Structure 1
């Protein structure tokens, strides 16, 4: 039987797209194994997917770690990957990874003689003269005159962290040294798992864009949430996933919603939001929920942004300056389907103005129109492409 190893290290938004791909591959009769942070092992087991835990719990890493601690975590993760990936790849016919943290993966694939595919969830993560590098957790934002200079600084920082230990392991495997670690991880032709309307590929880059990788979520909404939704007009959703929002953002969002006559629904997330007098929920089915809302206030994660866009609901995006969150905030604003703020500098007044933009009838009309143009078959496209072009026949 054909078997594929999938791997990522990140939050739920990093893991779920690979779960969607796994489901499509299994539908084609392909066996799937996944390397993920340990807190997601039970989730995968419940879906019948073999999970291989890798690294420390990512929730601990993302919660208030200092720059020095993040440097140490990254160094330890590389060593762990070279311990865990080789046995996990045994019997596998290809290795598909998501995220720059997968530094060891391509070397393991080379040593095993199997194809390697790198995937990113946002075009902004790939070097291009059309945009600057995204902010990397724990590293200061680069300084330079132009995008090319900023990408050069970005490559230097990745090399400073990883080149020596990576090449030490490659030498032990009989592999040639790597000069540019970042571009080595990204490969010569990365895959882009983002919707071509909401998050198009950048001109001039050689990428395979498949559409976002999502799976149909069949979970019913909790009865208490169904009752809450039925008890009044569509509410405003406030949630920041695995990201802790800037101080007061959640409270200001509640105040701005209520000032306009809207009820509020608060998602606890990893920030454990629990605002007084608000209906609070945990992990629920966004596909069922978002279409029943007046607006979604969130942090700009790829999954939440695309789920809200697909539901046709207006968005207010307040990103922390990390990874692709600012990029998705910009895409929401550029398409006119909501408003975007700079999280660290947001004020009650700027957030109030963002609500006026997002809740305007014209914004909802544009959100509905965008939803109709978005594709839903990204994971199926990717699975078929793997079978036709990557996996041995």
Structure 2
């Protein structure tokens, strides 16, 4: 079987796709990946054919969080360019494939290309919040002027608005390509892309799918790529020098203003050392004191088991990695599914959910104090025993059986 795995987005969107690709390859399947060009080296390092789609994304993490959002015309052009690039790249990469798996929620071209070629199609998401359910609100998009749901509007109304946003943003562009291919137009873009049987690549303990009528969700568990890279000698030395430090990282998204300064101040307020992940935002230390260390790309699976707490943005992958390692967490949600994961960390007793407001030294100090409480550490160790690690294997074998 030949499988095309495609995604649009940053590391949190790509890493699960790579995990599934590696597992399929181990099971003897022919796999290829279509993703942003930033990830070519990683994918090809596993000897997996790679097709780039769209522009490089890394520079977006360095944009000032106070920068003005794109104008409606700029956003319209970005959307149009993305759809055009997708149809070109996905169509080329799908040549000779038996099934297309779209990882995440923005691979607008994938199902149409699958229809054109008469092959299978699966949509797999990484968080329950992206799939319609009366039991939770849709994800939040600050660039569109949205704020997290405050309970004043019912979830059904919010999901209806979400469906309209999908149509307003994508429908005309999508249908132009479908018409050119001789396919019927789509009236509901979200339902078209998600299908009536989407897959959910999220851990059932951390992000369980709530029972709801009308959507038959297949929850495989999170797609985790095993990481056996050693920690650097510098990092090992820092970890061994004193009590476990606090890890701070914002991954591949923009960082709020003065984040490094406020994070380090919070750690010092609790008498803790700090490890700061530079990430795509190029976070830096505020001084040369020996109680802080800035690091680049790192094996989270190894590091998180050796820190006192993980302070992070609330990406699905980082949240799962910290939970799997038994590390207390502070989640600083900014957009989309991050608010969902912040609530889950809080509700499961794994740490603190920071308010969606920009973090200050005082607010981070308070949140970190919650996460460092002894009972939270005990709870985090317990939950770690329930986090599954076989999601990619379950998904791979299901694909092999289904297609």
Counterpart in the other structure of 1:107: 112
Counterpart in the other structure of 1:95: 100
Alignment of 1:1-393 (within 5 A): 2-61=1-60, 63-64=62-63, 66-68=69-71, 69-136=74-141, 138-141=143-146, 145-204=153-212, 205-275=215-285, 276-277=287-288, 278-320=292-334, 322-389=335-402, 391=403
TM-score with structure 1 length normalisation?
A: 0.95
What do the CA deviations read for 1:214-256 (whole angstroms, capped 9, x no partner)? 0210111111111111111111011111122322333222112
Which whole-Å CA distance do the structure 2 matches of 1:167 and 1:244 have between them? 33
What do the CA deviations read for 1:274-302 (whole angstroms, capped 9, x no partner)? 11233110001001110000001110011
What do the CA deviations read for 1:304-357 (whole angstroms, capped 9, x no partner)? 00000000000011111x111111111100101110112424433332221111
Q: C-alpha root-mean-square deviation of aligned residues, in Å?
A: 1.6
Which whole-Å CA distance do the structure 2 matches of 1:203 and 1:349 have between them? 39
Structure 2's unaligned 5+ residue stretches are none
Seen in structure 2, the aligned counterparts of structure 1 residues 203 and 342 have a Cα distance that, compared at 3 Å, is same
Instruction: Kindly state the Cα deviation for residue 61 of structure 1 after the two structures are TM-superposed.
Output: 4.7
Conservation of the 8 A alpha-carbon contact between 2:270 and 2:365: no
Which whole-Å CA distance do the structure 2 matches of 1:218 and 1:241 have between them? 20
Seen in structure 2, the aligned counterparts of structure 1 residues 67 and 148 have a Cα distance that, compared at 3 Å, is farther
Which whole-Å CA distance do the structure 2 matches of 1:273 and 1:350 have between them? 19
Conservation of the 8 A alpha-carbon contact between 1:246 and 1:344: no
Structure 1's unaligned 5+ residue stretches are none
What do the CA deviations read for 1:111-137 (whole angstroms, capped 9, x no partner)? 100110001100000111112110136
TM-score with structure 2 length normalisation?
A: 0.93
Which whole-Å CA distance do the structure 2 matches of 1:93 and 1:14 have between them? 22
Q: How many residues are paired up? A: 388
